[in-house]
Amino acid sequence: MAKNSMTGKRIDRGGPVAAALLACALQSACSVGVYTQNFQRDLTVDGPVRLEVATGSGGISITRGGSGHVSIRGEVRCSGIFTMSDEKRVKETAANPPIVQVGNVIRLGKDLPEGSRGLAISYVIETPEDTRVEAAASSGKIEIRNVHGPAKLASSSGKIEAENIGDDVTVTTGSGDINISHVAGRVAFTAGSGGATLEDIKEDIRGSAGSGGLQIERPGGRVSIETKSGGIIVRDATADLRATAGSGGLDISGSPSAHTYWELASRSGGIDISVPSSASFRLHAKTDSGVVSTALPIAIEEQTRKELRANIGSGEARVEANTGSGSIVIR
């Protein structure tokens, strides 16, 4: 069962450049600015939902709503210099938005009709908690909150945010930051240009960034992360940790559990390791250009200005730190 509603408006942009363009455009039955039409659909579901959303240019927002129905609010937009035929395409798309429902599977923005291509379509969706999500945007922000998942999110250019997800999360962005928090499953991410911040992930984390910093807070499982250009911060790590920076420093804190392994490396950047006095691990730290130093009580096996092998506590875990250029500090 679906309930429909639609509104429309035109927003003109001022300024001398726009005025000149408008004067020119009026001679050829064109408009300058933004033209939008809104729509709404309410769909009935009776079990776990599979939600697939795609948009070329526009945002996607997905949050938990009530059980038994999916509420979709959308905006169709054209902007710049547009013709009356473009306005007609916007109206037709809003009147018949690209929404397909087959049982509890709902697809938005898939297989766009010819008349809808090139328009920007944004979606705001409320769905039952028991929803798995696939969302993709060529250009636009994606945000998802308070659903069970799993969630698979991708944006060529735009920020991605995920919060309070009950299963695994997979995120890919070509250009844009990633923020993920409070996930009960695993997280995998890839950022081409942009940083990533992850907080309170219960299971394993694996990810990389081409250009941007990485920050991981309170990981519950193993962590394997890499950035080609940017620093790495990890707080309160206890499980296996692999952190590699091509160009950038590492700032690592936590306490490696027994039989875990931390592998920390930077080709160009310092490494700072902070552990509690109760920490227990074997250490091997080496720098090609810099110094290795520590203020912790240690049992030294081998030490030079640039390399240190030692035991901290009873040596139950293993920590290796290596940098091509920069100092290593263990505190």
Q: What gap in Å lies between CA 267 and CA 157, rounded to an integer?
A: 28
Mean pLDDT calculated for residue range 71-80: 87
The set of residues, in sequence order, having a beta carbon less than 8 Å from that of 70 and lying 6+ positions away, is: 42, 43, 45, 49, 51, 106, 125, 126, 127, 128
**Quick check: 77 and 40 in contact, CB under 8 A?**
no
The fraction of the chain above a pLDDT of 70, given in percent, is 87
pLDDT reported for residue 1: 46
Residue 24 has pLDDT above 50, yes or no: no
For 160-181, what is the mean pLDDT?
Answer: 97
pLDDT tens across 202-242, in order?
999 999 999 999 999 999 999 999 999 999 999 999 999 99
Task: Please tell me whether residue 6 adopts helix, strand or coil conformation.
Answer: strand
Q: What is the pLDDT of residue 269?
A: 97
Residue entry with tokens 């079990």: 47
Position 138 scores a pLDDT of 93
Report the alpha-carbon angle 64-198-328, nearest 5: 175
The mean pLDDT value for 59-83 works out to 89
Q: Are 140 and 154 in contact (CB under 8 A)?
A: no
pLDDT at residue 99 is higher than 90: yes
In the predicted model, what is the mean pLDDT of the chain? 90
- Asked whether the predicted pLDDT for residue 100 surpasses 70, the reply is yes
AA letter at 271 = I
Over residues 267-316, the pLDDT tens digits come to: 999 999 999 999 999 999 999 999 999 989 999 999 999 999 999 999 99
pLDDT at residue 4 is higher than 50: no
